[in-house]
Amino acid sequence: MKKSVIALLVVGIVILIFFGSFKKSYNNMVAMDEGVSAQWSQVENVYQRRADLIPNLVNTVKGYAAHERETLEGVINARSKATQVTIDPSNLNAESLQNFQQAQSGLSSALSRLMVVMERYPDLKANENFRDLQAQLEGTENRIAVERRKFNESAQTYNTTIRKFPQTIIANMFGFEKKAYFEAEKGADKAPEVQF
């Protein structure tokens, strides 16, 4: 009788240890998944900040460069497209992230063209509102880079965790899927050609 009680206690302890380990691994994956979603929200937040600055920048430029209508409309259209592409944090896959990145790249390109055009207008470059907006935009671009890096770090930690044994078993059981990363755009590894 004592042997059967001891055996039951040992089996009970093993089951409790297994359950505790299982529970800890599952909860850790849930916390990391939420961390990736929260970090994604920060990425969207800084992109939204940039989108919010653009109407002010365009309105400031309009007064000085009214005949640059095509460039201004390009910025407005690119902003509109960029703000329409959103991603549900639970569906952060490579395809949706690539679509988001393409829309944001289109906006970055349009802003770059606008800044080049503005070099032709010394009065505009001297305008305090324009300089402030330009500085805020530059700061926002830096924030975007920082938040994208943090997102990639968060996704990497999550992806590593769900691929480790025995967490991979739990991840597969409960549908924890790998998160996509922000990647450099094609051609970003080549230096731009500058001609004078």
Residue 92, both tokens: 């952060």
pLDDT digits (tens, 9 = 90+) for 13-54: 999 998 998 899 999 999 999 999 999 989 988 888 888 888
pLDDT at position 191, please?
47
pLDDT over threshold 50, residue 195? no
| Interatomic CA distance for residues 32 and 39, integer angstroms | 10
Residue 112, both tokens: 């770059």
pLDDT at position 64, please?
67
pLDDT digits (tens, 9 = 90+) for 62-91: 766 666 777 778 888 888 888 888 888 777
Residue 182, both tokens: 């922000």
Domain segments of the chain: what residues? 48-165
pLDDT at position 157, please?
94
The arithmetic mean of pLDDT across residues 107-112, rounded, is: 85
Residue 1, both tokens: 């009788």
At position 184, the amino acid (one-letter code) is: A
> Percent of the chain scored above 90 by pLDDT?
26
